[in-house]
Amino acid sequence: MVSTLNSGGVYDNASVTTTVDLVVTSADNWMSSSVANSSANATTVDKLNASDQCMWFHFVVNTVVIGSLCVFGLFGNTLSLFVLERDHRNRVAVFLLQSLATADNLVLCVAFMDLSIVYGLLPVVGRLDVLQASAPYLIKYVNPVGYMVQSCAVWITVLLAVNRYVAVCRPFVAAQCLRMRRTRLQVPVT
């Protein structure tokens, strides 16, 4: 305990103790509030770092990986459309392969727009307002179109597999069953 000289010239231990207690108490409150603030700030910083890491993860996966796959897929499918245009031997198989390439191109376009641009690129660029404004429309219109086009691609693949099975395993029936007119009706039904 420290004693101090009070205004009357007498050493007063009680006033010193009270003053020290107030200083210690206020220092404790300051420390506890600063610890609470630092833990709240650390939690906020951790949340920001975690969301920042998630944002960059989404950017790398959606924009870089999926975007590059979509671009290469669009290039390959478009190239196969031009190459298949020159083949005139098996018109039914060529038509089915061109239909499949077209359906795959549509799937890739929807995936590129939805995943790469909207969910991968817009948060990194800082256009969360565009993301929030477009999210209801993407969920209501673009996602169902993407699922429909994906289903078409799957069913065209099944149709192509059945077509090739009939052509290879049932060659005598193939001349009657595999006609261009029938195939043109089958593709839109899928």
pTM of this prediction exceeds 0.85: no
Are the CB atoms for 63 and 120 separated by under 8 Å?
yes
Q: Where are the domains of the chain?
A: 57-189
Count of CB atoms situated within 10 Å of the CB of 183: 19
pLDDT at 26: 39
Per-residue pLDDT of the chain (190 residues; tens, 9 = 90+): 445 555 555 555 544 444 444 434 433 443 444 444 445 544 544 544 555 667 777 778 878 888 889 899 999 999 999 998 887 787 888 888 999 999 999 999 988 888 777 777 777 777 777 777 777 887 888 888 888 999 999 999 999 998 888 888 888 877 777 777 777 777 777 7
